[in-house]
Structure 1
Amino acid sequence: ISHHWSSGGRHFMGKGTSFGTVTLIAPTDVITGPVQTMRIDGVDIEFQLTPGTEAPAEMNLYFPQLRVLCAAENATHTLHNLLTLRGALVRDPKAWAFYLGQTLQRYGWRSDILIAQHHWPTWGRERIVEMLSDQRDMYEWLNDQTLRLINRGYTSLEIADRLKSLPEPLARKWYARDYYGSVNQNVRAIYQRYMGFYDGNPANLDPLPPLDTARRTIAWMGGVDAVLTKLRAAYAAGDYRWVAQIGNELVFVAPENVAARRLQANALEQLGYQSENATWRNIYLTGAQELRLGRSKVSITTASPDMVRTLTIPDFFDYTAVRLDGDKAAGKTFTLNWSFADINQRYAMTLRNSALTYQSDVLHARPSASIKLTKAVLDRISLHETTMAQALRDGSIQISGDATAVSSLFGMLDTFDPTFSIVTPPGTP
């Protein structure tokens, strides 16, 4: 059995990814029932599916012989993320609370030890019941109070400002603190889940992009030097959030201004010092580092060889579609048939209207070109162990029809630099 608990905390509880090999093992057995028991190496494990909580396919595990409950990332010693700040789909706090209630009812008084994917165990039935109850109440409160204020007309930022912390006595529990997730970002995540980006105010329906906004804002405030003087006074008064907000506009207008960058970095650093949340602190300090030293040159990759080989053909085609540069593809139309002999799969691909789509188990009747290869060859190309040109020369790829359609497709693909700027305008060193 292989179960990837999710990337929700796996790579981001600390300051970066593991220095070991990031890998993926394809599942050998699948848990399909709401509660399913299996014996593995003489150990009974009862799996409780909790879909849509911390991860789309999350599950808790109960070991009846040991009276041990593993709560995965559904109940850890912190308030978790409903929306990771690195970006993801918003998780469902209502489902999270519901399944914790089911876990409490089914396993609470049958467990002597509670473990999870991060942090330390909880010992003793009474403590376990209290923790599960508190964590259930925490996610339920966040969901319901956010929806209550939405229905009173408050916007995302206004709700986050009103719901500054969990209610007492929950706010004083160590396992409900904002060490990783936070009330602020989770409230805003819930708003996003139910309401989307638009808050009902037409002024926010089509605002100017950041660089245009910055130029006009700084000009209206008297120019770079005048704003810098005001920001220095605000910094001296300890108004760091305001300095960070307006300082960002100033840095966008004058990214080469060392004094502006240094003041903005100082404000972000102060906000980092004051943050109980480790993720927020690291984000603030990362921004300060970029302002002082330039963009990070550290590149992180998760594309290990076995990870690439585990990807399916649809995975590869979906990623290819994401890489397609719409401007380069404008006005171009062609169809490609792909046949993979080693896995007996075939696909009909279409480029049209700058969109790359495909269908499985079907081929175009009159394709622009047909490509015959194996999944193994595609993996080697993805891993840069060979090239398309070399594969054509040695015969491991065969193309019939218009070969330029294939080469032009790969010529339209964008490449991504993971070290893009975050607190300075795009393209800033």
Structure 2
Amino acid sequence: MNGGMKNIVIIGGGFGGIRVARDLGKHDKFLKSKGYEVLVIDRVRHHLYTPLLYEVASGCMIEKGMRMESELLSGVSFRLDEISKSCCGVGSLQGEIVGVDFNLKKVKLASGTEVPYEYLVIAAGAETDYFGIPGLKQNSHAMKTRADALALRQRIQDFIEAKKRGEEVQIQIMVGGGGATGVEFSAEMAGCFRRLARAGEIKNGDWSLTLVEASPRVLGMLPKRASDITLRRLERLGVKVLRDTCVKRAEEKHVVLAPRPLKAGESPETLVCEFRTEFEKIFEVDVLVWTGGVRASSLSEKAGLPVDRKGRIQTDESLRIHTRPDVFAVGDCAAPVDPQTKNTVPQLAQAALKEGELAAKNIIHHIRREPLEMFGFPSYPTVIPLGAKNSILVMKGFIVNGFLGWLVRQAADLRYFFSVLPFWSAIRVFVTGARLYTRND
């Protein structure tokens, strides 16, 4: 940090934060001429490509050890300083943020360091939401960080080895949450077990995989036809899908499930829950994976900013915080509201990238004393991997599944790698993923 310069500080090195940094880096000469420098602060030294994190948790189970873990991570995790190399004039600082003094315009780190800012972009991301379900946090595996994915992978490997030694009757995995992450992991994990069976490591009856979803459909944010295609695909892979079913509590070796609460006018017969007439049911589980929801980083609430029920910062359409015109929020921790539909922008990587792009533009506009631009609230194409070389693509009413959907997803991943990494680094990351992440196919 140059003491003579004014800082544009970005909290968080996720999708939104990196997009702000890269787009501001394109204006490096202008910013330096005005006395500004850009600084990204994150508690870790890497940027995580979370759409492929499930591959780390479920990939290459036959091969063990730190070398394989490192290879798996190399396809989803990139050092912030490597990204900074391709961003003119962008610096990075590792540190845990404990607060923000908006009056003195300083970001406070756990180390005691205080970083002054002229403009602040909060892109602190999201964390797993356990919804207060008893025992869930203590007895489940999340999938938000590198450590989460590696811990889950190790846990499953331990049970596979125990089964091979005859110490386990069956490996029982339950996944809570039928959104994108839950579906992706379930499909890939089923592929992993099937590959292990083909290799003679286990038998087909040695595993069970159950996906639990509280609503009537998996991928409920997509059209019903897409949900139906996904359900059939999961069932063909051997995944048991329980819909209209909630996790009531979690304990060390079992999970208590219950039919979801009825809405006004509904009867038990309305539900597709397999045990809808029962109050609750106990399932034995070796590994419980929770992908059932996220909420914004607790930093937003601790900072005293206006937030919605999911902890997301309330912004105007320019992505500025209502009470702080020099502070912007983007990504999973931001909640701009579409004035037409009254809906909040979804917590998607594509949305975070669009918000990051706008925040960078508006900072430049503000420095130049130009009018700010408003967020356009676009619709976003969705591509969900469904195991092997099969994905479902939903875009502007069109639904494509199978190999073509998988190719689109590969292109989307490569395009993102090119957007944040130097050319040959992007190629290396993509090729590594293509080599490792298809081994369950």
Whether TM-score is above 0.5 comes out as: no
The structure with the largest strand share of the pair is 2
State which structure, 1 or 2, has the greater radius of gyration over its C-alpha atoms: 1
Higher relative contact order (CA 8 A, sep 6+): 2
* Shorter-chain TM-score range: under 0.3
With the length of structure 1 as denominator, give the TM-score of the two structures.
0.24
